Chain A
């Protein structure tokens, strides 16, 4: 059959931002997918070199506009490692709580958009958005803003938790714990969903390591690697939790890992809330007095909702000399041409949705 070349995007209902995919089809089977990225390229890595250390945190948040706090934390942690500033204990607990809440919110959005991509009429999407909104309310209560928080400071946080936050958070976590099984019930028991997800876009363990996919996608392929567990940061080693690993490596596992991770995040956040120590959580002010990095090079690795982020920071006095960001979405999207080969055209968007990419994070 002659090969048809179809241009998907940059404006397309299910591309999650501006991305252009050039798809070569043989009949209905994908021969090749060539992603064209860079529509949102802002040159953050260069911008950081021209700003002072704490001036860059808002840029970091705009990389991943679905889970901004995680990126903020990764950058601040890299600066902390460079300056040799220890994080206060209460601040570590609060960071864990906020990051896990952020992970729940991000995974909820990802599940909703995935259902949308395989042809759900926005119902699951709206359900997850409702619950994500409740989590965002909580984050707003803790940080004062709804979407871009800029809450992390060197050595601590911009502001401590409000007095009744703990109770609200526990109530919300109880509510979410009841809601997640409802999602499973609603989504997984639909035979069309399982038919569209199981056995589609299979990535074996070897291939997953070779093409370098990360985060939930990597764990769905049977690779037990979670930065929170394998090289713990903050107080993650004080809580009992299991990295969620599935072995099928298909779309369904990538979706299911996210559901399971929401449950684990609820557990971690609750444990952290219950053992929250008293004390001071405030960090240093934004204006650093003659910052003098102790380490020239600091490498910090964090488990973001979408995968592992690695910050390679070469520090100078006053401002970073070079910041190299390993974006999880970047490498997950790079893998799509390997994953989607041989699948049906309609499944391309299921695969894209299950890899859960954010264009701001890819283009940087």
Chain B
């Protein structure tokens, strides 16, 4: 299900009241021309999954947090923010989670040169 970026929080909130009360995963996929942020929600009673896709422009990587609706989104958002360089709005600046990555490109983006020499932001 495709969702507009501005309508995300309202949609997640509405779906929670409809029974999709379990957040399975927040993740992102880099399709070079756009970045998809995926919210996999689940209704634990009917075991039905619903995937929300939010399409982001690589020039404007910002998305609003859903941590107030699903507490489990906390670490997923932090990981996504670190690995894709996506800014999470609406929550205080989170500490980097996994890699404490200080390189130029976020690691899971396709522009990331995985076999190039390591450079920090200062080097650039």
**Distance, CA A310 to CA B49, complexed state (A):** 12
Q: Contact between A38 and B72 (Cβ–Cβ < 8 Å)?
A: no
Count of chain A residues with a beta carbon within 8 Å of a chain B beta carbon: 33
Q: Assuming the A-B contacts A46-B107, A225-B44, A312-B38, are A331 and B30 also in contact, with contact meaning beta carbons closer than 8 angstroms in the complex?
A: no
A297 and chain B: residue at smallest CB distance: B29
B24 and A334 contacting across the interface, CB-CB below 8 Å: no
Given A324-B25, A324-B27, A326-B25: A310 and B40 within 8 A (CB)? yes
Chain A CB within 8 A of B23 CB: yes
Please indicate the chain B residues that have their CB under 8 angstroms from the CB of A321 in the complex.
Answer: 29
- A363: CB under 8 A from chain B? yes
Residues of B with C-beta under 8 A to A314: 29
Q: How far is the CB of A314 from chain B (nearest CB, A)?
A: 6
Taking a contact as CB atoms under 8 Å apart, the answer to whether B72 and A335 are in contact is yes
Give bound CA distance, A334 to B67, whole Å: 13
A residues within 8 A CB of B40? 299, 310, 312, 326
Contact B114 A46 (CB under 8 A): yes
Please determine whether A212 and B72 come into contact, CB atoms closer than 8 angstroms.
Answer: yes
For residue A331, which residues in chain B have a CB less than 8 angstroms away from its CB?
72, 75-76
Cα of A223 to Cα of B22 in the assembled complex, Å: 11
Asked if B100 is at the interface (CB within 8 A of a chain A CB), the reply is yes
Q: Write the chain B residue with the least CB distance to A226.
A: B47
Known A210-B70, A225-B44, A231-B47; judge A37-B22 contact (CB<8 A): no
A324 touches B29 (CB 8 A): yes
Distance in angstroms from A232 CB to nearest chain B CB is 10
Whether the Cβ atoms of B99 and A312 lie closer than 8 Å is no
How many angstroms between the C-alpha atoms of A223 and B42 in the bound complex?
13
Of B47, B70, B99, which one neighbours A41 at CB under 8 angstroms?
Answer: B99
| Bound form: Cα–Cα A299–B47 in Å | 15
Q: Which residues of B contact A230 (CB under 8 A)?
A: 47
A52 to chain B, nearest CB (A): 15
Return B101 CB to nearest CB of chain A, in Å: 9
Chain B residues with a Cβ closer than 8 Å to the other chain, count: 30
List, in ascending order, chain A residues with CB within 8 A of B28's CB.
324
- B73 (CB) vs chain A CBs: closest residue: A212
- Which of B22, B38, B47, B75 is the one whose CB lies under 8 Å from A209? B22
How far, in angstroms, from A331 to B40 measured CA to CA in the complex? 14
Q: Choose among B30, B51, B72 the residue that contacts A322 (Cβ–Cβ < 8 A).
A: B30
Q: Which of A287-341 contact B (CB under 8 A)?
A: 299, 301, 308, 310, 312, 314, 321-322, 324, 326, 330-331, 334-335, 338
Q: A42 to nearest B CB, angstroms?
A: 10
Convert B11-39 into 0s and 1s, putting 1 for each residue whose CB lies closer than 8 angstroms to a CB of A. 00000000001111101111000000010
B9 within 8 Å of A by Cβ?
A: no
Chain B 34-58 interface 0/1 with A at a Cβ cutoff of 8 Å (1 = within): 0000101000100101010000000
**Does A45 have its Cβ within 8 Å of any Cβ on chain B?**
yes
Contact with A along B85-123 (1 / 0, CB 8 A): 000000000000111100000011000101000000000
Given contacts A41-B99, A225-B44, A331-B75, A209 and B108 within 8 Å (CB-CB): no
Indicate the member of B24, B76, B99 with the most A CB atoms within 10 Å: B24
A50 beta carbon closer than 8 Å to chain B: yes
Of chain B, the residue at the smallest CB distance from A331 is: B72
Given contacts A38-B99, A46-B107, A46-B108, contact A310 B25 (CB under 8 A): yes
User: Does B124 have its Cβ within 8 Å of any Cβ on chain A?
Assistant: no
Bound together, the chains give a CA A92 to CA B29 distance in angstroms of 31
What's the minimum C-beta distance from A160 to chain B, rounded to whole angstroms? 33
Q: Pick from B25, B51, B97, B107 the residue with the most CB of A within 10 Å.
A: B25
B115 CB to nearest A CB, Å: 8
A301–B38 Cα gap in the complex (Å)?
A: 16
Q: How far is the CB of B109 from chain A (nearest CB, A)?
A: 10
> Which residues of chain A (1-49) have a CB below 8 Å from chain B?
37-38, 41, 43, 45-46
A260 proximal to B (CB < 8 A): no
Separation of A187 and B112 alpha carbons in the complex (Å): 51
Considering the complex of A and B, which 9 residue pairs feature the smallest CB-CB distances, nearest first?
Answer: A212-B72, A230-B47, A334-B75, A38-B98, A324-B27, A326-B25, A41-B98, A322-B29, A211-B71
A-B contact list, 17 entries, CB within 8 Å: A38-B98, A43-B99, A46-B107, A209-B22, A209-B44, A210-B21, A212-B71, A230-B47, A310-B25, A312-B25, A312-B38, A324-B25, A324-B27, A326-B24, A326-B25, A331-B76, A334-B74
